[in-house]
Structure 1
Amino acid sequence: MRPKLTQQQLAEASCVALGTIRKIERGERGVSDSTLEAIADALGIDPARLCSDRESVQTRVHDALPVLSAAIAAYDVPDDGPVRPLHELREVVDAAVSWRLAARYTRIARELPDLLAELARGYHQAPAAEQAELAGLLVRAYRAADAVAYKFGARDLSARLVDLMRWAAPAADDPLLAASVAYVRTETFFAARAHTPGLRALEHALDAVPAPATAPEIAARGALHMRAAVIAGRARDTGAAAGHLDEARALADQVSEDVYCGTAFGPDSVRIHEVSVSVSLGDEHVSRALDVAGEWKPPRDLPAERRSGFYIELARAQLWSGLADDAFESLKVARHIAPQHTREHPWVREDAGTLRRLKRADAETLSNFAEWCAAT
């Protein structure tokens, strides 16, 4: 978050009129989604942290899902309309990827339907020389949209978006992009609790990914191993989970922590997945998650979605280990990092509900948190 700004500095940084800033702060006028996003961008924070209405973010995203569904329904017969030049489309898709990594789901839900329709028009109208790049942009944009669908529980819409990624990826003629689609496809196996088939699908994807020579190739293979380790953990296949985690760790040691083909990979990401695998395996493995957290915390330059996920997984390990107060602190940290991601995570709802039942006489803050995330 940026240092404290004066009203004048905030107005200049957000390109919002000073009078508007003053009226918003005095509560004399409401704030539109676009103004909220501009102010949040200027402050360097998630817009959800500026919303006093706890229902507003969730409602806006859910209201946008039918529009998103309509946009992808016409993927092969898009409406006529303008298409921006390739360099402009690259920039806006890059922005959508950054929103996904920062868990800015409201913005994705608002911006992506029109962008997906435009990209579909561009792909179907483009000369052959440009179609591969446009297909790649479509895959990345579909993935950003899928983050909203999956995180907000629209599983059928998420599955359709994954199918569209798989449809567009071959036209992009990029094996690393195909590997990233295989990574995302695992969501459908998680949702169906089909963990063993999901592990098999990732192992097939590993067979197809290029040999790890360059940093992006190393990261693509490493990300698939990370994902395979987690789903092997959910399948309670201890040997496969450990083997894939070892492979991911060895590959991570060869590259710097960064975002490759839309997926964060490197030594820090592997540590986070080690916690996830430990929680997935449960029982005596949970202590390993506490050991990792005892000696390491995710750095601030990791994507917000990944950092908040670490604390959500850690909270579950702490709760299972009888550390209720620590678990609540971890959930609060996750909320601070990425409010939208944290609120929509089913484990947060379950664990906040458990904490409220365990600590009936506890302070108001726990009840407020449980109500905020609609705890079960």
Structure 2
Amino acid sequence: MNDEEAIGRRIAHFRKARGMTQVALAQQASISLSLLRKVEQESREATPVLIAAVAKPLAIAHLRQADRNAQALARVPALLLETTAAIHTMSTAAEREQLFDAVATVLHPTMSILHATGYDDLATIVADRIAWTAAQWGNPLAVGLAAHTRTSSMLRHGTYDVGLRLIDSARAVLDSAPTRDDTTLRMIGSLHLRAADLSARAGSAAGASAHISEARDIAEYLRVETDHLWRNLAFGPTNTAFHDVATAIELGDGPRALTLARDLRIPDGFPPTRTGHHFMDIARAYLWQGRHEQALASLQRARELAPQQTRHHPTTREVVRMLVRAHRHTNKPLARFNAWIGAGG
């Protein structure tokens, strides 16, 4: 089996695994149905441009948002190998940009999954690969994506000032871009949200508030939810509101966080992983207010929305550990939840 045959068969395998018809994939990838059929039947070469086109509809981001983390990670090696190898065969700038775009489509949600499931060291390696991809791509949006991903580890390691400087540098690149279209604005908005997270962790309420305000202005101007697009980093009015709640929690203002959460209206069909993460955050706020039943109820709601993410996320384990410690007497719902995440006694 030659390389083109291998890629054609893998495309068919990934398509069927996602439950997609050839018609649906061709439409989403903006390629002809006859071309896709020939590639899958191994009678036509799978060119780098075609690989880039089908990588997005088949990509990890869709599985990540559907809380199918294990399935997503299982597909990463083959997709990443094929798209990365194809980069070295590029002959035009347009082909190169399409493929770097496809690689980023795989890498960014992969890093999110690794962080969410506690594999921070592996996530850092993926973030470094994203930075390399951005450097090769040479696109201002890629610079923004690289800064956003690299600061994920800075949030966890406490290097908040370094992270804020990196975000400022990336925003300067985007501000000087030749065009300031909606996609650029969404990336800038996403960077403001990350800066709000960093500021809150650093204890700067003023800094967090200023960045949330900037993000909210952009979100209200665009008026579109974009949680289904990797490049936009889940930026939109609802995700901005989620970050407003989360930064209040990080600043230790539980009452404000719960008030904001109470007034927040989540649109129908919003990605379950993002909404589930919000309820995990709310569980922390309830815990700090001594409202243990509500904290557990929030975790149970997160479980309903995104069970894989909730089961493995460090926030879940920390909240459950504190709840178990606070309950001297048997609490059957808590005991069942504790057993479900496998935390033991």
TM-score by length of 2: 0.80
For structure 2, list consecutive stretches of 5 or more residues without a partner in the other structure.
Answer: 1-13, 21-44
Give the 3 Å change call, closer, same or farther, for CA 94–177 of structure 1 in structure 2: farther
| Counterpart residue number, 2:103 | 138
Given that 1:83 and 1:122 are in contact with CA atoms closer than 8 Å, whether structure 2 keeps it comes out as no
- Residue 123, structure 1, aligned to residue 87, structure 2: yes
- Post-superposition shift, 1:360? 3.8
Q: 8 Å contact 1:166–1:181 — kept in the other structure?
A: yes
2:240 maps to 1:270? yes
Q: Does the 8 Å CA contact 2:272/2:305 hold for their aligned counterparts?
A: yes
- Alignment-derived partner of residue 190 in structure 2: 223
Deviation of 1:367 after TM superposition, in Å, equals: 0.8
Q: Which runs of 4+ in 1 moved over 6 A?
A: none
Residues of 2 paired with 1:148 and 1:370: CA distance? 22
The AA in structure 1 aligned to 2:318 is E
**Counterparts of 1:103 and 1:178, CA distance in 2:** 27
Q: Alignment partner for residue 294 of structure 2, among 320, 326, 338? A: 326
Task: Tell which has more relative contact order, 1 or 2 (C-alpha 8 A, sep 6+).
Answer: 2
Cα distance in 1 for residues equivalent to 2:159 and 2:324:
31
Cα deviation, residue 84, structure 1: 5.2
CA RMSD of aligned residues (A): 2.4
CA deviation map 1:248-279 (0-9, x unaligned): 11111111112351411111111100011001
Equivalents in 2 of 1:139, 1:266: separation in Å?
20
User: Closer, same or farther in 2 for the Cα pair 1:237/1:143, shift >3 Å?
Assistant: same
| Contact 1:142 1:161 survives alignment (8 Å) | yes
Q: In 2, are the aligned partners of 1:146 and 1:161 still within 8 Å (CA)?
A: yes
**2:210 paired residue number:** 243
- What CA distance in whole angstroms lies between the structure 1 residues aligned with 2:331 and 2:291? 17
Q: Return the alpha-carbon distance in structure 2 between the equivalents of residues 300 and 359 of structure 1.
A: 36
**1:202 aligned to which of 147, 158, 167:** 167
CA shift, 1:132, in A, is 2.2
Equivalent residue, structure 2, for 1:163:
128
Residue 34 of structure 2: aligned partner:
none
The percent of aligned pairs where both chains have the same amino acid is: 29
Give the Cα separation in 2 of the matches to 1:89 and 1:214: 23
The whole-number CA distance in structure 2 between the counterparts of 1:373 and 1:199 is 34
Select 1:186's aligned residue among 151, 156, 170. Answer: 151
Contact kept, 8 Å, 2:279 with 2:299, in 1: the verdict is yes
Who is 1:48 aligned against?
none
Aligned length: 300
Residue aligning to 1:351:
319
Deviations 1:271-299 (A, max 9, x none): 100011001111xx221110012222423
Q: 1:258 and 1:161 mapped to 2: Cα distance?
A: 23
* SS across alignment from 2:234: strand
Deviation at 1:362, TM superposition (A): 4.2
Query: Is the 1:350–1:375 Cα contact (8 Å) retained in structure 2?
Result: no
Deviation per CA, 1:36-57: give whole Å up to 9, x if none. Answer: x769x9xxxxxxxxxxxxxxxx
* 1:89 and 2:59 are equivalent in the alignment: no
Q: Secondary structure at the match of 2:203?
A: coil
Deviation digits for residues 5-42 of structure 1 (CA, Å, limit 9, x no counterpart): xxxxxxxxxxxxxxxxxxxxxxxxxxxxx9xx769x9x
The reply to whether residue 111 of structure 1 matches residue 85 of structure 2 is no
Distance 1:181 1:303, change over 3 A: farther
Q: What residue ranges of structure 1 are gaps of 5+ in the alignment?
A: 1-33, 42-81
Q: Which amino acid aligns with 1:254?
A: Y
Return the offset for 1:178: 2.1
Report the CA distance between 1:240 and its aligned residue: 0.9
Is 1:99 matched up with 2:69?
no
